[in-house]
A and B are shown apart, each in its own frame.
Chain A
Amino acid sequence: MRVVEKRQLLSAEEINRTLQRLAHEIIEKSEGARDLALIGVRRRGVTLAERLVRSIRAFSRADVPMGILDIALYRDDLSTIGSQPSLQGTEIDFPVDNRDLVIVDDVLYTGRTIRAAMNGLFDLGRPRRIRLCVLIDRGHRELPVEATFVGRTVQTSDTEIVEVRLQEVDSEERVVLVDRVT
């Protein structure tokens, strides 16, 4: 099986502009960003959350904390995976009780990652509200999960993969749609 690139969904410049817009949207819909905190899902969600937090702080002067969530322990497919995913650890050093949380991830697909992320957050306390921010929504949900803040909605087929490549992780910056050919 080969993987071929079909088309570019977002350029570096478009990623940047999209994140700026998402930052503004989050501020606008967060009542002055009081109690607001961003939770990046490992691993590209963390990079995106870092960038969003920087923008939100710059635009609103609100000191919005950020945490990192490792969902490996909360996945529902562990018993079918050969070797266990390595743990990177969750780093949330503020109480989540009564917080207004925004989970940040790169791609929203089946919704299972987000279900796992919410379970992880509930183990830490009782947030007042949890919303979701994703760079790409590619459809094909298997759970009733929707994002509040969406960068770009993309129609995809089952065999396609949306690859978000970020400078900090992948040494390049763009979003591409690739397909598997057999």
Chain B
Amino acid sequence: MQRLSHLLGIEDLTREQITFILDQSKPFQEFQRYPLKKLATLRGKTVAVAFFESSTRTRISFTTAASRLGADTMALQAESSSLKKGESLIDTVRTIEAMRPDGIVIRHASSGAPEFVAERLEIPVLNAGDGTHEHPTQALLDALTIRDRKGGLDGWNITILGDILHSRVARSNIHLLGKFGARITLCGPAMWVPRELENLAPGIRRTTCTEDALEGADVVMVLRVQTERIHEPALAAEEYVLGYQLTPKRLRLARPGALVMHPGPMIRGLEIDPAVADGPQSCVLEQVTNGLAVRMALLYHLIGGAPVDAPHPAKDRSNASD
């Protein structure tokens, strides 16, 4: 298997690499139940957490994952940074690099920013969401949740509901689940489900009718509606609720036991009915816990250890543990 040196997106990962990351997340799921949630595995390592776009949950998740592995974090947030003063992306990350972190987690409003940084820095880069491009750790934690709940990842009917066009979560999920033979249905107002999305993976179906999209679904992924994108006359909030909100009645059209997922933050009463959000089919909180496990597995493999070509003392030592 090709060893990963960065996590920039799901599109370029193989099925084998994805399965490896999910398998490696299992021990860390178990770890979240330990009374003592602190490892020394990455002691002495520093992870720079650079969020050029505001975020709470993903940032906390990465920071907690690093901290539970014993690493220190170096935080940079848009609100408090020199970005406001007009510094360029490359100058900012070079400054961070000069403080010698062992890896960097980046969120940026521009698609491709993490890749741009990865090409210029020597350290591993983890994409925590870039523009409308990808949010790979979200897709991985979603896949882990589906695999656990459903007993496998292959061949499910997946319905993604909402603003697909602007959603990096949707894009990463389409890439990932497409590699596992999912039949994906994209549903939302016509302006949010353009034809180009069909090119992302084979067998994608588009519809603007929620009832139609939910029929036979094994998994329903509800996306957050960005309120700044809802404005009259194109689309009023009430129209969205009427046409696309996931309600208990609509959910009954999906397969019995279909999973309901949401990447958060959730706007109750807009894209999702509270009864569904808190219902037995909802995996929202499991997604959050699994996010920690996936991010710990990624940090462990990307940031722990020396470069690939460094000497390997364990190979040179008899009876070292295998």
A160 CA to B34 CA, complexed, in Å: 38
Complex: chain B residue closest to A158, CB-CB: B318
The 5 A-B pairs at the shortest CB distance, nearest first, are namely A161-B318, A89-B27, A109-B319, A87-B27, A123-B36
How many Å from the CB of A84 to the closest CB on chain B?
5
A4 at interface by CB-CB < 8 Å: no
How many Å from the CB of A79 to the closest CB on chain B?
6
A58 CA to B322 CA, complexed, in Å: 30
B312 at interface by CB-CB < 8 Å: yes
Taken residue by residue from 287 to 322, chain B's Cβ proximity to chain A (1 for < 8 Å, 0 otherwise) reads as 000000000010011001111111111100011111
B196 at interface by CB-CB < 8 Å: no
Interface residues on A, range: 35 or more
A124 touches B35 (CB 8 A): yes
Residues 54 to 106 of chain A near chain B (Cβ within 8 Å): 70-71, 73-75, 77-84, 86-91
Complex: chain B residue closest to A106, CB-CB: B319
A86 touches B24 (CB 8 A): yes
Q: Which of A41, A78, A109, A123 contacts B34 (CB 8 A)?
A: A123
CB neighbours (8 Å) of B98 from chain A are: none
Q: Which of A74, A80, A125 contacts B310 (CB 8 A)?
A: A80
A77 touches B314 (CB 8 A): yes
Query: Which residue, of A43, A73, A90, has the highest number of chain B Cβ atoms within 10 A?
Result: A73
A80 touches B306 (CB 8 A): yes
Q: Which of A74, A84, A138 contacts B305 (CB 8 A)?
A: A84
A122 CA to B306 CA, complexed, in Å: 27
Binding site secondary structure of chain B: loop
CB neighbours (8 Å) of A81 from chain B are: 305-306, 312-314
B319 touches A82 (CB 8 A): no
A107 at interface by CB-CB < 8 Å: yes
Complex: chain A residue closest to B27, CB-CB: A89
Q: A70-B27, A122-B36 are contacts. A75–B312 as well, Cβ < 8 Å? A: no
B238 at interface by CB-CB < 8 Å: no
Q: A73-B41, A78-B304, A79-B305 are contacts. A162–B35 as well, Cβ < 8 Å? A: no
B319 touches A77 (CB 8 A): no
CB neighbours (8 Å) of B42 from chain A are: 78
A121 CA to B36 CA, complexed, in Å: 10
Complex: chain A residue closest to B307, CB-CB: A82
A113 touches B308 (CB 8 A): no
B87 at interface by CB-CB < 8 Å: no
A74 touches B41 (CB 8 A): yes
Q: Which of A73, A89, A109, A159 contacts B26 (CB 8 A)?
A: A89
CB neighbours (8 Å) of A70 from chain B are: 27
CB neighbours (8 Å) of A110 from chain B are: 319
A41 touches B306 (CB 8 A): no
Residues 94 to 151 of chain A near chain B (Cβ within 8 Å): 107, 109-110, 113, 116, 119, 122-125, 138
CB neighbours (8 Å) of B297 from chain A are: 87
A158 CA to B304 CA, complexed, in Å: 28
A158 CA to B317 CA, complexed, in Å: 9
Q: A83-B305, A83-B308, A89-B30 are contacts. A75–B321 as well, Cβ < 8 Å? A: yes
Query: Which residue, of B42, B309, B310, B321, has the highest number of chain A Cβ atoms within 10 A?
Result: B321
Q: Which of A43, A87, A91, A160 contacts B24 (CB 8 A)?
A: A87
A57 CA to B45 CA, complexed, in Å: 45
B39 at interface by CB-CB < 8 Å: yes
How many Å from the CB of B192 to the closest CB on chain A?
39
A79 CA to B46 CA, complexed, in Å: 13
Q: A80-B313, A83-B3 are contacts. A43–B322 as well, Cβ < 8 Å? A: yes
B306 touches A125 (CB 8 A): no
B39 touches A73 (CB 8 A): yes
How many Å from the CB of B47 to the closest CB on chain A?
14
CB neighbours (8 Å) of A88 from chain B are: 27
B86 at interface by CB-CB < 8 Å: no
Residues 129 to 159 of chain B near chain A (Cβ within 8 Å): none
CB neighbours (8 Å) of B233 from chain A are: none
B312 touches A74 (CB 8 A): no
How many Å from the CB of A162 to the closest CB on chain B?
6
A77 CA to B321 CA, complexed, in Å: 11
